Structure 1
Amino acid sequence: MSMQAVLIKDGKGPVENLYIGETSIPTLQPGQVLVKVKAFGLNRMDISQREGHYPPPPGSSDILGVEFSGVVSNAGTDISEWKVGDEVLGLVGGGAYAEYIAVYHTHLLKKPSHLTWVEAASIPENFLTAFQALVLVGKVTEGDNVLIHAGASGVGVSAIQLARVYGAHTVTATTSTQEKIDWLLNLPNGATHAANYKTEDFAAVVKKVTQNKGVDVVIDFVGQSHFSQNIEAMAVDGRMTMLALLSGAVVDKANLAPILYKRLHIEGSTLRSRTLKYQAELIAQFKQEVFGKITSQGGDGPVRTYIHKVFPWSEIQEAHKEMETNKNAGKIIVEVV
């Protein structure tokens, strides 16, 4: 049987190569559930994959997309916790830009009734990446000072709120415009402080905010251009989680001495390439500690979803262009309509 999906002409290329075409409905493997997709979230890795720079993990679909919301349409006989008609959201290695997706039963969460399909689709990749970086790797604890780069991105906004929920003393966010700074500072459980990395020395801002102590936890997506300032901004025994290298991977010149005398811990982290077992355990811990606290933007929960813009999937090229402009504050979601 066939379905429609967002495909890439020639397998990779510019945004103009994206189109909706026919492909086969996924065949269920043991432990998998088939879900009819209602909405899916956009992530920067989708652009990298479309351009041919980020292949999906072995065994994953070549179709773009790692997060979605939808309705269970088929569950294997070996699956007990999900049944046809269940409303879910989930995480996959690929395949979310489609009418149907095969997903492991451990990688699904029940969609709360107070969230729309769009809001539910905004949660998996953003919040699981932020939770992993901040809690599992960064080991954030009550009273910590935290620095989060790309603060207005989907993961950034999630990490800011989680830092507040876990009792951070200060949360400083960096971004590129005053508009985004004002937005982040005015969110419930948003950033306590902010810096425009284009016009300010964020390490100096952090030192002022923390009375020269520095930050205990850094969540970095930027890499090269921020590396030396990150080291300067970190407190003794500080932890930095590196999630991406948006400005480049090669640091031409860096003073390593502070890493030694401040006993800094720097760890790279990915989510998509982790084992199914690791991802399942992460999702289970996230469900236990955080998931129930999430409400919509208009809700009253300590953690909220923030949607920048919603596109019908017939406008998938426009959705990718919107992400490429780097203007989004919150999540870009596409509806399968």
Structure 2
Amino acid sequence: MRVVELDGFGGPEVLGIGRAPVPVPGEGEVLIRVVAAGFNRADLVQREGGYPPPPGITDVLGLECSGTVVALGPGARRFGVGDAVCALLAGGGYAEYAAVPEAQVLPVPGGVDLVEAAGLPEVACTLLSNFAHPELPPAGSSLLVHGGSGGLGGFAVQLGAALGWRVFATAGSEGGVEHSLAAGAEAASNYREEDFVEFVRERTGGRGVDLVLDVVGGSYLQRNLAALAVGGRLAMVAALGGATAEIDLRVLMRRRLTVHGSTLRARPVHGPGSKEETVRAVERTVWPLIESGALRPLAVHRVPFARVRELHERHGDRTVPPGKSVLVLGE
């Protein structure tokens, strides 16, 4: 099969198309013939050497894919050969075939084509595992999303709006602001031109928001806390702006704030806090919103498989269009 190979670690030039044996599905796994693989910023970090796969997992990039089930491993029984599916992966999506634990596989939701579905599992699982901590906030809650023009941020805006929340977003360009508004944000701000703490305070009457979804990290920590309402929560899913910061614990205690961080890749397949638990919660909560039309993936940027290096280059220099990018194997 064709795979995207890494010739060491570094820039997009280390990516190339190579050949590898088709994986054999093990106990409880299914083999998927991949139609498309979702792109995530974590792919860039792994390519640069900063995000190694867990022990025993392929070093082929790709944390999500869509395609058709072509074989079942021993004990796999939910899906059948020929089923259209998408899947959350620990790695291996940038390839023509992927062997995946059946617990991490989802049916393609109605109203979404197979290529669009490739960009859903990672973002949906990441967001739901952070939003529902331990339960989803009620309708009428407020959310600030950083990076509303990206694949994760744009979907976060859509999901929050579909759940009946007041959603605010930041982006680094006017195009990103427009994308955030189109996704369902009540208001969006260009963070290069406006302080997001003041932006939030103005639109919430000084109260702040109940939840902040952050991909920036250290350099935003103090301002994120300032943007929260009393009893609010900061959910951190990346640290693009630095991994360390100082915090005044008295602020957390006085205002009853919570700082929560998480990743998906290192979680166990089964058990409490597992990928299986998150995937099934997504199927129960997010898939019905998609199928009803309350939540609809926007601006899927489709890139032919052979142009993987170009995709990484454009994401690295931030010239890719707003929205989610996917690599299409048949193109």
TM range (shorter): over 0.9
State the alpha-carbon separation in 1 of the partners of residues 253 and 284 from structure 2. Answer: 36
1:15 aligns with 2:7: no
Question: What TM-score comes out, normalization by structure 1 length?
Answer: 0.92
Identity of aligned residues (%): 37
- 1:56 corresponds, among 53, 58, 61, to 53
Question: Separation in 2 of the partners of 1:149 and 1:51?
Answer: 24
Contact kept in structure 1, 2:175 and 2:322, CA below 8 Å = no
Counterparts of residues 299-314 of structure 1 (less than 5 Å) = 301-314=293-306
- Structure 1 residue runs of 4 or more that deviate by more than 6 Å after TM superposition: none
2:17 & 2:304 partners in 1: Cα distance?
12
Distance 2:181 2:134 in 1: 25
Following the alignment from structure 2 to structure 1, what is the Cα–Cα distance between the partners of residues 55 and 34? 22
CA distance in 1, matches of 2:3, 2:259: 39
Quick one: which of 222, 227, 230 aligns to 2:216? 222
Question: Any conservation in 2 of the 1:171–1:192 contact (CA below 8 Å)?
Answer: yes
Q: String of CA shifts for 1:188-219, please: whole Å, max 9, x gaps.
A: xx110112112211111111111111111111
Equivalents in 2 of 1:164, 1:68: separation in Å? 25
2:325 corresponds to: 332
Give the Cα separation in 1 of the matches to 2:182 and 2:26.
46
- Superposition pairs for residues 21-60 of structure 1, below 5 Å? 21-60=18-57
Alignment correspondent of 1:193: 187
Deviates more, 1:176-185 or 1:112-121: 112-121
Q: Does 1:322 align with 2:296?
A: no
Instruction: Count matched residues.
Output: 326
Partner of 1:242: 236
Superposed, which structure 2 residues align to 1:1-337 within 5 Å?
3-10=1-8, 12-112=9-109, 114-136=111-133, 139-168=136-165, 170-187=166-183, 190-251=184-245, 254-277=247-270, 278-294=274-290, 301-327=293-319, 328-337=321-330
State the shift of 1:254 in Å.
4.6
1:140–1:163 CA contact under 8 A, matched in 2: no
RMSD: 1.6
Distance 1:115 1:308 in 2: 11
CA contact (8 A) 1:130 1:156 kept: no
- Partner amino acid, structure 2, of 1:332: S
How many Å apart are 1:271 and its aligned residue? 0.9
CA–CA distance in 2 between the matches of 1:21 and 1:261? Answer: 56
Q: What are structure 1's unaligned runs of at least 5 residues?
A: none
Secondary structure, counterpart of 2:20 in structure 1: strand
Q: Separation in 2 of the partners of 1:209 and 1:255?
A: 26
Cα distance in structure 2, aligned partners of 1:113 and 1:262: 43
